[in-house]
Amino acid sequence: MQMQPDLIAEARRQSEICNACRYCEGYCSVFPALHRERAFSDGDITQLANLCHNCRGCYYACQYTAPHEFDLNLPKALAEVRQDSWKSHAWPAGFGTLFDRSGVLIAAGLVLGFALIFALAQGLRPASGEGFYAYMSHGLMVAIFAPAFLLPLAALAVSLRTYWRTVGGQGLVLSDIMQAVRSAGRMKNLDGGHGDGCNFEDEDRFSQARRHFHQAVLYGFLLCFASTSSGTLLHYVLGMEAPYGFLSLPKLLGVPGGVLLCLGTAGLAWLKTKADPNLGAPSAWGGEMAFVVLLFVVAASGLVLYAASGTVSVGWLLQLHLGAVLTFFLLTPYSKMAHGFYRMAALAKDASDQRLRQG
């Protein structure tokens, strides 16, 4: 699927004006990267779009926004290219547009549909088992979730490979990857380049709220992933089967991770309702909000399910939670979740470009 040339052309027009002005030179990573170029290929524009974190500081600082004849709105232009790049590089082709069009309906339908399937699957429950395994065998869960986790990762790998070729990515070294990881971990590009934060939700007022909520989501997700990984190691390596007590590693990682995910996603959803949609990609607003709500449901249902351990509610709560998790996995390459992978690739490409120019 080809990217839309009109979106690329408009982002190129605005980038050329920004390159001549250079007022925003001290802002996020987009502007140093932009100012390194004299002309912008389609790949250059795609790279700039995925470097952009949509903090919007450049828009409120710009003297060429409407009603000026240049009519600059760089955050929107790059957001639309960014969204289009994820859809055009999505694999299999064609799946990338589905979630943007009907994100809420697709997510809700899949969660409820999978929950119903898991409810039916509980009819095959084992004769014995503890905790969740009293409702569904470990083998059945692995048979469902292992491919549901690995196949979307494979689809993302194919997508990122075509993205890397499009932006002209070259060989990476460890320092490039580490620089990208540090930037993502600090959410460096959400501090506006000056440390005061960004202007996402309240026009020209600086705020660190979006940065902190993003960090809560990132570290909450990593803690939950570490929780699942530690449980896998305990089960297969040490022979220690679930359920695990509160002081076990899976719970000590998973409960704080779930709390952080709930706080972060709720905060991001709140900020999105306050922000001007015309400074992003308006057509993707529903899909982005649907993804944030889905991630909240995954985390919240997991916490409630743990709190309900030993009660009669576990059966239907388990169905809902597993349905939400399976939906999240399967939609990862085609929802806003993909942006994390593309952004890491863009940050690594930027670090590589800086290293090659300096050396």
Q: Are residues 110 and 154 in the same domain?
A: yes
Specify whether 249 is located in the same domain as 315.
yes
Pair 101, 17 in one domain: no
pTM higher than 0.85: yes
- Under DSSP, the state recorded for 198 is B
pLDDT in the model for residue 101: 65
Token couple for 280:
């992003």
Judge if 210 and 298 occupy the same domain: yes
> Where in the sequence is the domain holding 53, given as residue range(s)?
5-87
Considering only CA atoms, give the Rg of the chain: 22
Q: Please tell me whether residues 266 and 299 are part of one structural domain.
A: yes
Which tokens is 225 given? Answer: 């992933």
**Is residue 183 scored above 60 in pLDDT?**
yes
Domain count for the chain = 2
What pLDDT does residue 99 have?
67
pLDDT tens column, 155-169: 999 999 999 999 999
| Average pLDDT over every residue of 269-295 | 91
Mean pLDDT along residues 344-359: 91
Q: Which two tokens stand for residue 270?
A: 């709140």
Residues 280 and 242 occupy one common structural domain: yes
CA distances from 64 to 13, 21, 61, 69, 71 (A): 13, 10, 9, 7, 6
